[in-house]
Structure 1
Amino acid sequence: MREHDHVPSARERRTRRFDDDEPQFLKRTRHPVPGAGFDTNADTDSPEVGDRWSSWDQAVQGPAPHPEWLVTELAAVDSELGVLKTGKEADVHLVRRHVPGTDRSCLLAAKRYRDAEHRLFHRDAGYLEGRRMRRSRENRAMEGRTAFGRQVIAGQWAAAEFGALVRLWEVSREVGSIAVPYPVQLLGTELMLEFVGDAEEGQAAPRLAQTRPEPAELRSLWDQLLDALTVLARAGLAHGDLSPYNLLVHDGRLVLIDLPQVVDVVANPQGRDFLARDVRVVSNWFRSRGLPGDLIDPVGLTTRLLGEAGIR
């Protein structure tokens, strides 16, 4: 048989198709995210060193209509400005998304969950109850905490937080009694959020634990918290790790953050306990700051919230 008459085997055809497609795949992925394993400067069209093209077109996008302040142009560039917060499960970075040569710009908080080589969410077993993946392989990997399983869990935390924020953002547009950062996008284990704080100075809003509110403001914040807890309960949810450290105060408004461990109080066998702990922790803080005791009844509040969630 002559050389040019050679008929490639099925294995050769599969290999050739993969090899032929790979350069095109790499070319299409011109918006690398940190940790993705791509050289951000390999493309001659790449932005300045330290910057990256906006990943908006690759990501799961936040709810429409998108806020007017949000930059969604495909020509936008994301510039890293520093770290806002470090934690055991994720680090939060300050990112400026802008269109070069224009005045289109916004600040975003990029929350990046730990990869499989680092410590993930502490006490994750309890929070994962009631969350099951469709594929048994993923469930087994999560239960065995294999490297793949830990990566699946990391993705679950990012997706859970994004989903909760989308749901609560849409509720806030309807009832206005709960405030959360706008969920901009989700890509892998990176969640991009609205920056809550002074955009001109790049100064994040203080956590509730850092504030010393006067009596009138303290009462206002407590009332806002009750409204937020009620909205969560009516959605069948509990924050799961609520404390003065994951509540922001911005222009007198209480803003809920850090929602990866959001708990379905009905599906999770420990849902009641998580809700009761949320109420107890924040009630203790407000009492320690001088809120009158007759306004604080953790047991009664927990019972009422469980009723709002449909649990008697």
Structure 2
Amino acid sequence: MFQENLSPDLDASRIDPRIDPGIDPGIDPRFVFDYQSYDEVEPGQRWSTWLSVEPLSRGPEPRPDWVVTSQGAIDTELGILKTGKEADVFLLDRTDPHDPAQSVVMAAKRYRAPDHRTFHRSASYTEGRSMKRSRDERAIKRKSTFGREVAAGEWAVSEWNALKRCWELGLPVPYPVQVDGTEILMEWISVDGETAPRLAQTRPEPALLASYLDQLRDAMATLVQAGLVHGDLSPYNILAAGERLVIIDLPQLVDLVGNAQGFDFLLRDCTNVCSWFTRRGLEVDPQELFGELVAHAF
């Protein structure tokens, strides 16, 4: 408990010691507060990085109620969720030990270190994009160590911006919590405490299958209306969270018009999606879906 001396103009006789028997009658209770100490973090833990990142590196408002913003929260590694060519995804628990209500499990996507390969087919996806510093762009083209570091950070920022934009468009994507260097923290999409399966792993009944197609058609149309294409859409980067679908893996989000291959990417997305639905027994023509989506673009 912290105690502060009264200023000369305060009347100590007015302080009622019955407020707290442990308070000296000469101490103004307005200057008395309780505090709680936090233990040091253990291996595999760190203090929450929420307040250490810039405000623009935090998720869009209004934020979901489950986002933990406590300065005393601790991040605890729970293990790896998925490995990939460009990034690995881990489960991360963020909890304030003195306020159990502030607790959440998130997905932490971390782009690979410079000694690993950078994003596949990156040149075709980044066409039409510009970088703030020409030095960084030259380094990436030379594939130097510094260039690979820049590339990893650029892809993390690209996916962060894509997640924010898609969330603000009302698309079914994980809520982006924060980005810090090459790490993105985002909503963990789960079903009954387990990670939601990829669409490719499911065999939905006909009614649910039709609902899934409608959801994807609407999501793709919303993207196209915003001048965007996922660019790598397939049943392997769509999660089936019960009756709803959630689209993931967005670092390569393509400008439909600014990228010379934008419409090619859109047709490929249509083909990948329709092929899976056809194999599951729901006939869908990719050319028909492509034409429908192109109509939304103009």
TM-score normalised by the shorter chain: which range applies? Answer: 0.7 to 0.9
Counterpart in 1 of 2:46? Answer: 52
Counterpart in 1 of 2:78? Answer: 81
How far apart are the structure 2 equivalents of 1:228 and 1:206? 19
Corresponding position: 1:287 with 2:278:
yes
Deviations 1:101-152 (A, max 9, x none): 3212101000000121111211111111111113221121122222222222
Letter in 2 for 1:155: G
Counterpart in 2 of 1:163? Answer: 161
How far apart are the structure 1 equivalents of 2:153 and 2:179? 10
Counterpart in 1 of 2:188? Answer: 195
Select the residue among 231, 255, 268 that pairs with 2:259: 268
SS for the counterpart of 1:278 is helix
Q: Percent identity?
A: 54
How far apart are the structure 2 equivalents of 1:54 and 1:48? 13
Select the residue among 237, 244, 254 that pairs with 1:253: 244
Larger Rg: 2
Corresponding position: 1:125 with 2:119:
no
Counterpart in 2 of 1:147? Answer: 145
Counterpart in 1 of 2:92? Answer: 95
SS for the counterpart of 2:51 is coil
Quote how far apart the aligned CAs of 1:80 are: 0.3
How far apart are the structure 2 equivalents of 1:78 and 1:48? 10
How far apart are the structure 1 equivalents of 2:266 and 2:50? 35
> Contact between 1:265 and 1:271, CA under 8 Å: does it hold in 2?
yes
How far apart are the structure 2 equivalents of 1:213 and 1:301? 21
Quote how far apart the aligned CAs of 1:81 are: 0.3
Counterpart in 1 of 2:12? Answer: none
Quote how far apart the aligned CAs of 1:183 are: 0.3
How far apart are the structure 2 equivalents of 1:269 and 1:146? 27
Quote how far apart the aligned CAs of 1:309 are: 2.5
Question: Bigger CA drift: 88-97 or 48-57?
Answer: 48-57
Counterpart in 2 of 1:179? Answer: 172
Counterpart in 2 of 1:109? Answer: 107
> Contact between 1:79 and 1:96, CA under 8 Å: does it hold in 2?
yes
> Contact between 1:46 and 1:52, CA under 8 Å: does it hold in 2?
no
How far apart are the structure 1 equivalents of 2:145 and 2:116? 10
Q: State how 1:200-215 maps to structure 2 within 5 Å.
A: 201=193, 203-215=194-206
Count how many residue pairs are aligned between Structure 1 and Structure 2.
Answer: 257
Corresponding position: 1:224 with 2:221:
no
How far apart are the structure 2 equivalents of 1:159 and 1:307? 30
SS for the counterpart of 1:140 is helix
Corresponding position: 1:307 with 2:295:
yes
Quote how far apart the aligned CAs of 1:93 are: 0.2
Q: What stretches of structure 2 of length at least 5 have no aligned partner?
A: 1-37
Quote how far apart the aligned CAs of 1:286 are: 0.2
Quote how far apart the aligned CAs of 1:45 are: 6.5
> Contact between 1:99 and 1:105, CA under 8 Å: does it hold in 2?
yes
SS for the counterpart of 2:267 is helix
Counterpart in 2 of 1:237? Answer: 228
> Contact between 1:237 and 1:309, CA under 8 Å: does it hold in 2?
no
| CA RMSD of superposed structures (Å) | 1.4
Q: What stretches of structure 1 of length at least 5 have no aligned partner?
A: 1-43, 173-177
